[in-house]
Amino acid sequence: MKYLSMLIFALAILGLAFAPVRVLAKEGLAIILVDVQGDFTTAHKGSLAVPNSDEAYLKEVAKATEALKKAGVPVYATQDWHPANHMSFASNHKDKKPFDTIKLEDGRTQVLWPAHCVQGTKGAEILVKPDLIAKVIRKGMDPKFDSYSGFMDDGGVKTDLDKELKSAGVKTLIVYGIATDYCVKATALDALKEGYKVIVIEGLCRGVADETSKTALEEMKQRGAQVWPSVDLGKIKNL
């Protein structure tokens, strides 16, 4: 009996030693992984690849996401999921080329992009292991509207993201991904509007251009977001 008790005690100690430190749902914390998809990365020779989105970057994202997931932080991933006839594709406009701009009927200016993240294509795939992701939020499915934010498209139609987060009791969001100056910025700003506390991880973001990325980060800070250079589990546990 004495040896059995000692064995049970030893197993309990080992269990504690190998148990992950958890930062949990009672903290109301979640990750928004923004558009880490093949077509946006140089690693996958994407049609709309942003600079420095190479294999080293993808490994950083995977490592940080896995560490946060192990610490008990759920991961929500946004995914551009365009139909082939999407209005933002230059190929769908006569005599237009990628990065031209057009005026829409409602007065908005639209940048025309190379066709990217078309539904069901390899370039639309999220480049993080599926078992790390609690929920995928698809956006950009309406051919008439672009959709930079994970919360809503340019026409104001909401995705399920806010509903999913609120139902899970999430109050603080850790945001990173692609691209700093477009979808990361739009997602972070909409999150602030919806009342979330927002932390943007600069080192896990990649932008279209240095100058616009710098401006985007400044705007996010001015609107109330925190910008961290990297993931800091110690700081996260104390949020």
Enter the tokens of residue 82. 């365009």
Neighbouring-strand partners of residue 228: 201
205 is a catalytic site residue: no
**Of 35, 146, 153, 154, which residue is the catalytic one?**
35
User: Which of 135, 133, 127 lies closest to 66 in space, CA to CA?
Assistant: 133
∠ at Cα 215 (228, 201), nearest 5°? 20
Q: 151-156, long-range: CB within 8 Å, 24+ apart, which pairs?
A: 151/187, 151/190, 151/191, 151/194, 152/190, 154/108
CA distances to 22, 29, 97, 169 from 26, rounded to whole Å, are: 11, 8, 49, 8
d(CA 68, CA 216): 25
**Of 183, 185, 190, 205, which residue is the catalytic one?**
183
* Amino acid identity, position 50: V
Q: Residue 219 carries which DSSP code?
A: H
**Of 139, 146, 154, 190, which residue is the catalytic one?**
139
∠ at Cα 69 (120, 28), nearest 5°? 105
183 is a catalytic site residue: yes
117 is a catalytic site residue: no
Q: Which residues are catalytic?
A: 35, 139, 183
